[in-house]
Chain A
Amino acid sequence: MSQTRRIAVTVNGACREATVPVRVTLADFLRQELRLTGTHLGCEHGVCGACTVLLDGLSARSCLMLAVQADGREVTTVEGLAADPKVLHPLQQAFHDHHGLQCGFCTPGILMTLVELLRDNPNPTEDDIRIGISGNLCRCTGYQNIIVAALDAAKRLRAAAAAP
């Protein structure tokens, strides 16, 4: 019964191959096999949103997927947001500047959710953002600074896109 499978997943641009037990979730594969511990596990039943990653560019809860289902697909985690390890992604920088986190546990999931939202909707309203992150639970901030940071990040990303 301890069935395993060989999988190849592109994670943050690099092809990663491994043999995994079929019951391992994508979240545990990222954290334990690949040691990418930026993806957090809160509830492990799809409620808290902390484990959100991008699968082929679309946000998904990595605790609600098996690693074998990601075979041949592309996964982006919070570690893949910043192109340069010394320079934060504009969204991360906005969270830093606006104190958009306290303990930081929910932050990776919120960043991955927002990165998709801001890509699909570069000019979101506050309501769009509140609805967008309604599947990400934060027990510290009361969300206010997260909203402020997200709106500011949208502005920065628009300015960067408009720059020649």
Chain B
Amino acid sequence: MKPPLFSYHDPRTTADVIALLGRLENAKLLAGGQSLMPMLNMRYVLPDHLIDLNRVEELRYIRDSDGAIEIGAMTLQRDIEFSEVVQRRCPLMHEAVAQIGHRQTRNRGTLGGSLCHLDPAAELVSVAAVLEAKVSIAGRNGARTLDFAAFPVAYMTPALEPDELLTGIAFPCWRPGHGFAFVEFSRRHGDFAIVSAAALIEEDKHGKLTRVSLVLGGMGPAPLRAHNVEQALIGEKPEEKRLREICQTLRSLEAIDDIHAPASYRRQLATVLSRRALLKAHERVMAKEAS
């Protein structure tokens, strides 16, 4: 298995990337290559031109800005994993990134690559959804921003025009002391999750939930925001029995049915993992208050 023939381009600036995208037919952007390279090797994709983004330094950054963490599209998953700022301000992302693939793949894989590949079970896709991230996109007609919720338009298809690229993502931070958890189930460590659950919560001083965000990965073509569960939880104390009851409602969700698991199994995982994630998030709020 060898990659097909293509012409290779390694621009140094975003402007050069946009110029190339505007000029070249059937071009594909290469980020960390942890998904695209296998697809090239197996000849699932046959681009005439490969535009390698790895030397575009301006797309690699982690910035702690007002109320959000801004991360460049070509930032390595490894750099997010070891970022002190991410761990402190956005611990959910830290926990999720450590569950992506393996050390070898996180050393090369990028944030933007993962988001544009849009695997339904990808950790970073769920993180962007649960945090209501904003994506920055640049193209020939200038730059625009988009809510991440509108970024997946179909199965593994991002809302990008042929001459556009994802340049950065802003992840709004929750207030200090919030609860968080990212849990997933896979057959082997490092495999794509069959189902994952990402939970963020805030509680008032009586231990009642004031804010909840819950996203399930692996259930459908895009991350699934569990709005009903979120609304049902507001004003509740996140005790195990109550969480169990509320998460049971996820059993009526639609889920994909494939070689890895039938839909019924995914629904079961959705209820269990949601409960575990919410409970873990709650325990972390308690631990923070105790310390």
Residues of chain A within 8 A (CB-CB) of B37 are 25, 45-46, 63-66
Stretch at the interface among B102-110, B127-135, B150-158: B102-110
Tell me which residues across on chain A come within 8 A of B34, comparing CB atoms: 46, 61, 64
- Say which residue of B42, B52, B78, B104 sits within 8 Å of A69 (CB atoms): B52
Inter-subunit contact B3/A23 (CB<8 Å): yes
Asked if B54 is at the interface of the complex by the 8 Å CB criterion, the answer is: yes
Q: Which residues of A contact B8 (CB under 8 A)?
A: 3, 5, 22-23, 66, 68
Residues of A within 8 A of B50 (CB): 22
Residues on the A chain within 8 Å of B5, using CB? 1-2, 23
State A134–B52 Cα separation when bound (angstroms).
28
Question: Does B188 contact A45, Cβ atoms closer than 8 Å?
Answer: no
Are A69 and B54 in contact (CB-based, < 8 A)?
Answer: yes
B101 contacts across to A, CB distance below 8 A: 135
Q: Which of A18-35 contact B (CB under 8 A)?
A: 22-25, 28
Contact between A46 and B6, CB atoms less than 8 A apart: no
Nearest residue in B to A68 (C-beta to C-beta)? B8
Q: How large is the interface on A (under 10, 10 to 19, 20 to 34, 35 or more residues)?
A: 20 to 34
B67 is an interface residue with CB less than 8 A from chain A: no
Whole-angstrom distance between the Cβ of A126 and the nearest chain B Cβ: 13
Query: Is A75 interfacial (CB-CB < 8 Å)?
Result: no
Task: Indicate whether A60 reaches chain B with its CB closer than 8 angstroms.
Answer: yes
- Tell me, yes or no, whether A52 is within 8 Å of chain B by CB: yes
Asked if B4 lies at the interface with its beta carbon under 8 angstroms from chain A, I say yes
CB distance from B35 to the nearest CB of A (A): 8
Looking at the complex, which one of B2, B33, B54, B78 makes contact with A64 (CB distance below 8 Å)? B33
Q: Residue on B with the closest CB to A62?
A: B104
Q: Let me know if A135 and B190 touch, CB within 8 A.
A: yes
Chain B residues contacting A152 (CB-CB under 8 Å) are: none
Interface residues of B in 88-109 (CB under 8 A from A): 101-105, 107-108
Determine if B103 and A59 form an interchain contact, defined as CB atoms under 8 angstroms apart. Answer: yes
What 1/0 flags go to B268-286 for Cβ under 8 Å of A? 0000000000000000000
The answer to whether the Cβ of B189 comes within 8 Å of any Cβ in the partner chain is yes
Q: Is there contact, CB below 8 Å, between A117 and B52?
A: no
Question: What is the bound-complex CA distance between A28 and B38, given in angstroms?
Answer: 14
Does A116 lie at the interface of the complex (its beta carbon under 8 Å from any beta carbon of B)? yes
The residue on A at minimum CB distance from B10 is: A68
User: B141 on the interface (CB 8 Å rule)?
Assistant: no
A-side contacts of B41, CB under 8 Å: 25, 44-45, 63
Of the A-B pairs whose beta carbons lie under 8 Å apart in the complex, a sample of 22, sorted by A's number, is A1-B5, A1-B7, A5-B8, A23-B3, A23-B6, A24-B2, A44-B2, A44-B41, A46-B105, A60-B104, A60-B107, A60-B108, A63-B41, A64-B33, A64-B37, A65-B37, A65-B108, A66-B3, A66-B37, A66-B52, A135-B103, A135-B105
